[in-house]
Amino acid sequence: MKTMIKFLLLILVISPMSICAEKDMMINECHNADVPAICMQCLESDPNSIHADHIGIAGIVINCLESHLHIITNNITNLSSKKDKGEVKTALEICKKDLSTNASTILSEAKTSLKTGDYDKTNKSIKLALGFPLRCMFNLKRVKFTSPQLFSQINIYAQLSDAAMRIIDRF
């Protein structure tokens, strides 16, 4: 019983220390990002960040990109369903197609090249994938469509892409 208590006390003392150390690692990985808070939020959302190395961290940020791409695509589907014919509907449908096929495929390629150690290709894929939501936002603005919610999701996606590329750049 006494050893048990000692053991528990030891865990109580050590774990906050190691959590601090892990947090330092995340801060370090994110500090080059334009918006470190968005990068940190992504890493904190995944418990695997705690034990991840450099490459693992990059993989986690790519996972966050994938889930944000999902949110953006669902938002666009939702927005499009409320529109009848017209240039806004057309632009939204093009966005939906580009994001759900091209951007999504390129992001999975980024994950594959990260696994095979081709970091140059990972970087290029992340950049290429980012072109799709950016072009989508540009085309929607061109037809005078605004959605602060959607555009802020796209901005978060862009910030996460920037963070991922900067982490990879430091490999």
Interface ranges with ligand NAG (CB under 6 A): 71, 74-75, 78-79, 101-102, 119-120, 123, 127, 149, 165, 169
**Least Å distance between CB 153 and ligand NAG?**
7
Output 18 or 149, the one with its CB closest to ligand NAG.
Answer: 149
Per-residue buried b or exposed e for 140-169, using 16+ beta carbons within 10 Å of the residue's own CB? beeeebebeebbebbebbbbbbbbbbbbbe
Output 51 or 73, the one with its CB closest to ligand NAG.
Answer: 73
**Least Å distance between CB 103 and ligand NAG?**
9
Q: Measure the CA–CA gap between 65 and 104, rounded to whole angstroms.
A: 10
**Least Å distance between CB 159 and ligand NAG?**
13
Q: Which SS3 state, helix, strand or coil, does residue 146 take? A: coil
Output 15 or 67, the one with its CB closest to ligand NAG.
Answer: 67
Q: How far is CA 95 from the centre of its chain?
A: 19
